[in-house]
Structures are given as structure tokens and as C-alpha cells.
Amino acid sequence: MSKSSVKIVATADAHLDPKCTRYGSRANARRADFRKGFLKTVDFAIEKKADIFLVAGDLFDGMRPSNGTHAWVMHQFKRLSDAGVNSFVIGGNHDTPRGISTGVSPLRSHGNSGIIHFFENPTDIEAIHLKCNGKEVTIVGVGYNPLLQGDEDPLNIEIPTPSADINILMLHYPIAGFQGFAGEVPLIEVQRIPSGFDLTIAGHYHAAQQKRVGTRHIIIPGSTERVTFNEEEDEKSFVYIEVDGSKIDIVQIPVEARPMRTESIEVKPDDQINQVVEEMLKQDLDPSTILRILVTGVATPEGLAAYDRQFLIRKGDEKVFKTLIEERDLHIKQPEAFEIVGYLDPYEELAAYFDSMIEAAESEEKKSLVQEAKTLCLSQIGGRE
């Protein structure tokens, strides 16, 4: 690429400041993982002397990131600004308010700082024009709209017509034909993406993907840290793009993310659950891993009573970064039902008992004695004719 090329770093779904409620004393260390991923994108943009830095939604994991997180993010955007990098951000489904009761986006204060441009309104779409290395660049941001229903088209809005040398569209929605979990977020059909945009940068899906449709490059940078166990096998990354005339180079830049691993254990009624899990924990495990143990199968009430999940979590935490245990599809063996034999008449039962003794008597004398005992006993419980 020539010196006149436009350099772009695109990222999404940093999910900074997650709650980490199950991580206990290791919650802050887990939150630091997410900062490391985003920091890698910032450092890379500064090192490459990028012209443009794009964040396609869900910079924050929730609506109320801590003051410390806000200050840290502001510092990173200030570093980019001081290095001459223009930053543009849209909101995602995690950091966009769903109504008046949830207040304003946590991104607004960063947009108001003048250090970045925040595309806040997902229905009144604006286009930002800038000049980079002699090239006219237009950036249009369409953030997440929480008021849309699942079957509505997020692009059923007026989008400025692209007319610059380089035209970029930012979205935070799942796009049909790409892989990922959409949830209840409206889906965008590829053909609904306006023609004329050279680059479409889309957040929401956490797995990095890209496709070329005609002259349009549709790019999903993916998240920079593993957020759920569905991402165990995903390589985390962001995207570096160089545009030089009609030539567009797109490179996935890998980011080292914390490993996640799932182990499924099926127990049987005779098993001691603690013993089975402890045996699994004896295998070689990467100490940096988040280990999820899924306990399935059938356990007895007695076996479940002896099961000590917190003890096992402590044992696991001695070997890995964090152990999480879930009882999915673990069923309790019900006691066998008693056979219902119907109503028992005590008079008839006692009479039958004596009859069996009379039949077994070895002599007539014994039979006579048992018969007398039978008559006496039956008379005491309300004899019958």
C-alpha cells in the first residue's frame, strides 16, 4: 500500500466492565481480561498510525460501567486522539438504554468530550465527512434501536447516500448469512445494506467473519475476549483495513483471550458425585482456564445430599483460573412405588392365618386346639356369623 492509503482499525463487542457475579475474588481479574482485549486494538491503531478507529457497538457490557472503567476508556480515546486517530462509536444492545427509566447511554459522556464521535440516534442517521491522506471519507453509524420488534427491518430508515472516495457503514445487528447467536435482536438481510458503501462494519456476532458482496465488504470484527462458553473454540481478533484507491486489504489481527473449557460428567445413581468430579480434576488443566463442569445423569436423594458444590469449586480453583459448576439435566432417582394390594380385612386375615396353622397341624388334637384359639380370637375382634 502507498503512503496515501487510508488505515482503519475496526473492532466491536469489547463488553468492558462485565458483572462477573460468579467469579468471586477473581472478578476484577476477569474484568481485566476484557480491558486487555480493547487495549490491544488501541495500541495497534497508534502503532500503525491509523487514520480511523471504529467501535461497532457494545463497548460496554452494561448501562452502568464503573467510574474507573469510564476513566480508563476516556484515557484510551485520548491516547488515540493525541496520536491523530479519529474515533467513531455506535451503541449496541448492551449499552443502549431501553427507555427513559434507564437513562442515557454511557457513551454519551465520551461523545460530549469531543474526543470521539458517538452516533447516538439510531433513527435520525447522520453522516460524518472527513479527509484522510487526500481521500474523502464518509462514515455513517446506525446503532442499536431497542424499540424495534424482532421482525422489523433496522434499515427501514433514511440513510445518507454515500458519495465519498471511501464510504463506511457501521451497524450493530446480526446479518443474515453470518454465523452467531442473534437472540431477539432484529436481523438485517444482506440485500438491505445500501449499495455504495465500500465497507460495512457490523457488531453483535462475536465470531469474526467477512464476506464480499459485489463491491461491498461486509466485516464482522468479532469480540476481543471470550464472553460465553459458546465461544470456546473462537479465535478472538479485530480488523485492520487499508484502502488505497480501489484496492482494499483486510487483515484479522489476533488477540490473546482467556481460554474456556467445558467438561461434561454423567453420574449414575450409585456414584458419589464429589468423587467423580474430583477424579476429573486430576487431569492436566491449563491454569489460566475458565473451567465449566456440567454435571448430568441420575443421582439418588442420598447422593445429592452428600454433594458439596462449593468444596469442588474450591478444589477446582486451586488448579485453574476459575471453576464454574452447573447441574444441567441432573435428575433425582425417585424411590420405587409401593404395590397397592387393596383393602385388608383384619378378621379375614386372622382367620386365614389360623386356617393355615390348622392345615399344618400334625394331629387332630393340635388341630382342635388351634380351632379353639381361632374361635376365641375372632370373637374378641367382633366375630361374624
For residue range 351-379, what is the model confidence (pLDDT) as tens digits?
A: 888 888 888 888 888 888 888 888 888 77
Helix (H) or strand (E) holding 368: helix 364-380
Cell, residue 290: 475458565
Rounded to an integer, the average pLDDT of 213-219 is 91
Across 90-94, 275-279, 380-384, least confident range: 380-384
Strand pairing of 260-267 and 290-299?
parallel
Query: Above 80 in pLDDT, residue 200?
Result: yes
For residue 301, count other CB atoms closer than 10 A to its CB. 11
Please determine, looking at this structure, whether the domain spanning 6-255 carries the CATH number 3.60.21.10: yes
3-class DSSP assignment, residue 98: coil
> Shortest CA distance to 243 belongs to which of 211, 202, 199, 210?
199
Domain boundaries, the chain: 6-255, 260-332, 346-380
Look at residue 341 in the predicted model and tell me its pLDDT.
Answer: 62
For residue 78, count other CB atoms closer than 10 A to its CB. 14
pLDDT band at 385 (very low <50, low <70, confident <90, very high): very low
Look at residue 384 in the predicted model and tell me its pLDDT.
Answer: 53
Q: Which residues pair with 211 in a beta bridge?
A: 218
**C-beta of residue 59 within 8 angstroms of C-beta of residue 107:** yes
Residue with cell 458444590: 309
For residue range 172-185, what is the model confidence (pLDDT) as tens digits?
A: 999 999 999 888 88
For residue range 343-353, what is the model confidence (pLDDT) as tens digits?
A: 667 778 788 88
Query: Above 70 in pLDDT, residue 92?
Result: yes
The Cα–Cα gap between 268 and 260 comes to 26
What is the rounded average pLDDT for all residues in the chain? 92
Look at residue 40 in the predicted model and tell me its pLDDT.
Answer: 99
**C-beta of residue 60 within 8 angstroms of C-beta of residue 95:** yes
The Cα–Cα gap between 227 and 15 comes to 8
Residue type, 172: H
Cell, residue 261: 473449557
Q: What's the maximum distance between 2 C-alpha atoms anywhere in the chain?
A: 128
Rounded to an integer, the average pLDDT of 251-260 is 98
Across 65-69, 178-182, 209-213, 335-339, least confident range: 335-339
Look at residue 346 in the predicted model and tell me its pLDDT.
Answer: 76
For residue 100, count other CB atoms closer than 10 A to its CB. 7
Q: Which residues pair with 202 in a beta bridge?
A: 171
Look at residue 344 in the predicted model and tell me its pLDDT.
Answer: 64
The DSSP output letter for 199 is E
> Shortest CA distance to 7 belongs to which of 86, 90, 73?
86
Look at residue 333 in the predicted model and tell me its pLDDT.
Answer: 85
> Shortest CA distance to 76 belongs to which of 63, 60, 61?
60
**C-beta of residue 129 within 8 angstroms of C-beta of residue 88:** no
For residue range 35-84, what is the model confidence (pLDDT) as tens digits?
A: 999 999 999 999 999 999 999 999 999 999 999 999 999 999 999 999 99
Look at residue 281 in the predicted model and tell me its pLDDT.
Answer: 96
Look at residue 35 in the predicted model and tell me its pLDDT.
Answer: 99
User: DSSP readout, 263-297?
Assistant: EEEEE-TT--HHHHHHHHTTS---TT-EEEEEEEE
**C-beta of residue 231 within 8 angstroms of C-beta of residue 246:** no
Look at residue 101 in the predicted model and tell me its pLDDT.
Answer: 53
Using CB atoms within 10 Å of the CB of residue 190, give its burial: 0 to 12 exposed, 13 to 18 middle, 19+ buried: middle
pTM of the model: 0.84
Strand pairing of 127-132 and 236-244?
unpaired
Higher per-residue pLDDT: 336 or 113: 113
Look at residue 363 in the predicted model and tell me its pLDDT.
Answer: 85
For residue 299, count other CB atoms closer than 10 A to its CB. 24
**C-beta of residue 154 within 8 angstroms of C-beta of residue 174:** no
